[in-house]
Chain A
């Protein structure tokens, strides 16, 4: 009896002590995780502050006309953002036009139609594609894709689509192989695995009951994809697409190799052009003074652009929730 009371008392004291330690541990853990989270926000703000401060000379010199200036010339100290911004937007847009339908196709095949034995190899291949460093895409693009474009694809495009009124303006020479379209193709291959992986994963979250009921109603695979899979997973799909777009906007190394680095503004999408990140990568090392400031201003624009893309994605996800 005495022993039992003692034991109970002992254990009560022990529990209190343990609870105290646990509470302390939890507090420490809370502050550590809070600090980690705060660090991310602080870093983001720090980057923004540095970009803004270093971009000030540019906006002092050119004002807002930097945003619609079309010349980028270091010797005459004239800097405008339009060619690089346009190049970034157009190459990302074309890459998305190619990559999104392809990714959806791959994901539908993998989740709905693929024989079980093929599912793993194809899935692994896509994951491997995501792991290839971007410099490899750049080198393969330069050595393999550029000659193909130069000798076969671009002349064909000029001879066919280039002759069509209006649209033809987008397919005019010079087309030396490097250029916006080549960069877009490389970008499309690079963002494909990201969009595909997410699309496949969200398609797999569709409850089997929904899917099977649809098939049971006599729907074709296309109808299931169109009316069940895509509406059910809209949120995740938008997220995946936006992740791909974010990557396409900022991709540097591979694009720098194949975009052709021309800072003149041109209508043709098969001609050499430049992008924000390629422009920065090319000239940052040797730039000083106003040129350096203008490059940082370009970086700031890319930062804002990426932020807008993310904000748009969040907004679209929020909107699709209420539907």
Chain B
């Protein structure tokens, strides 16, 4: 009976996807990928439909799956938290540009320590995630937090068990601040963590941190705000202590050298600047340079142009940072060169 039920559900899903695909041929701009960008992209799609009556259909399936769908040509654009390499872009005739930025914050659950009270720097954070700092009253942590009474309890490291752009950006930051991390662990959407254990999704991470005394983990800022979770401050590359908020994320986005980078391949972690939040992340949109359906591709570009020009407010409300105006200008100029169907 179980089998029959599964079969029926599968058949229904298949039928539904066929009708959806049929409908999308009309004029819908389809996209798939990053779940990080999904809330703001959905909001933009809503506004864009109201303004132009064009529909944008986005599936939040994860960056890797989005790129796979793009390569299979089942969607017009892909969105990824991990920029594609120059080689992969060239091989498949793709172009990419940044669409949104945001922050990743360190969250903890320590008895007697309030949210927002602790400060970390790159070295101690990588020390904790490497398993070299194992107690909350470690000398390095005490030195950074002289005014906080830290308990002598063990540190439980919690990480994202599922492959995610958040993990990619967080490990990218750790690789930049710690040569040992770079050599031993590296950076990817999922890595072999030297210590700790995994929880599934942002929800799993927040639940586990709340349940586990002495735990530490990392989540997207918008998630922390929505769930009123505790977070830490960070000492940035300039040696200044900063709080996670939209200003400091924006500083990270505008201090990055977007113009000088090929294919806009810049990770905005550990950027310079006094007011820069060190663990910031971006999402890139990827499109075919020579698409089979030029009108749809152009439709997608029109949508992104609209988002660059009119979408900043939506981004701010949802705790994201829009791509700096100067960068958006460079991106839109690059379209003339990249997309023949202008």
User: CB within 8 Å of B: which residues of A?
Assistant: 71-76, 142-143, 146-147, 150, 174, 176-179, 256-257, 260-264, 272, 278, 281-288
Contact = CB atoms under 8 A, between A and B. Distances in A.
B258 to A, nearest CB: 24
28 contacts: A72-B192, A74-B186, A74-B189, A75-B186, A75-B191, A76-B186, A143-B207, A146-B211, A176-B212, A179-B197, A260-B161, A261-B161, A262-B193, A263-B192, A272-B198, A282-B190, A282-B200, A283-B162, A283-B189, A284-B163, A285-B64, A285-B65, A286-B63, A286-B65, A286-B165, A286-B190, A287-B163, A287-B190
Interface residues of B, number: 35
B204 interface: yes
A143 B203 CA distance: 12
A123 B182 CA distance: 57
Contacts of B194: 264
A257 B165 CA distance: 20
Nearest to B175: A75
Contacts of A288: 64, 67-68
A283 B162 CA distance: 5
A232 B13 CA distance: 45
Contacts of A260: 161, 197-198
Given A263-B192, A282-B190, A286-B164, A178 B185 contact: no
Nearest to B207: A142
B62 A261 contact: no
A73 B190 CA distance: 8
B199 interface: yes
B156 A286 contact: no
B202 interface: no
A152 to B, nearest CB: 13
Nearest to A72: B192
B332 interface: no
Contact of B163 (A72, A256, A262, A282): A282
A146 B215 CA distance: 15
Interface string B51-92: 000000000011111011000000000000000000000000
Contacts of B208: 142, 178
Contact of B156 (A147, A174, A262, A282): A174
Contacts of A72: 192
B190 A283 contact: yes
Interface string B203-223: 010011001100100000000
A261 B200 contact: yes
B61 A285 contact: yes
B70 to A, nearest CB: 12
Given A147-B211, A176-B212, A261-B198, A283 B163 contact: yes
A147 to B, nearest CB: 5
Contacts of B198: 260-262, 272, 282
B61 A74 contact: no
Interface-centre pick from A76, A176, A256, A287 (highest chain B CB count, 10 A):
A176
A150 B211 contact: yes
Contacts of B162: 281-283, 285-286
A260 B199 CA distance: 6
A75 B170 CA distance: 14
B197 A178 contact: yes
Nearest to B64: A286
A272 B194 CA distance: 13
A36 to B, nearest CB: 12
A281 B199 CA distance: 12
Contacts of A264: 192-194
Contacts of A272: 197-198
A121 to B, nearest CB: 21
A256 B200 contact: yes
Interface in B138-172: 156, 161-165, 171
Nearest to B212: A176
Nearest to B65: A285
What are the 8 closest A-B residue pairs judged by CB atoms, nearest first? Answer: A75-B186, A286-B163, A261-B198, A261-B161, A272-B197, A286-B64, A285-B62, A73-B192
Residue among B64, B164, B198 with most chain A CB within 10 A: B198
B188 interface: yes
Nearest to A147: B211
B4 to A, nearest CB: 13
Contacts of B215: 176
Contacts of A150: 211-212
Contacts of A74: 163, 186, 188-192
A76 to B, nearest CB: 6
A41 to B, nearest CB: 16
A256 B64 contact: no
B187 interface: yes
Contacts of A256: 161, 200
Nearest to A253: B200
B197 A257 contact: no
Contacts of B193: 262, 264
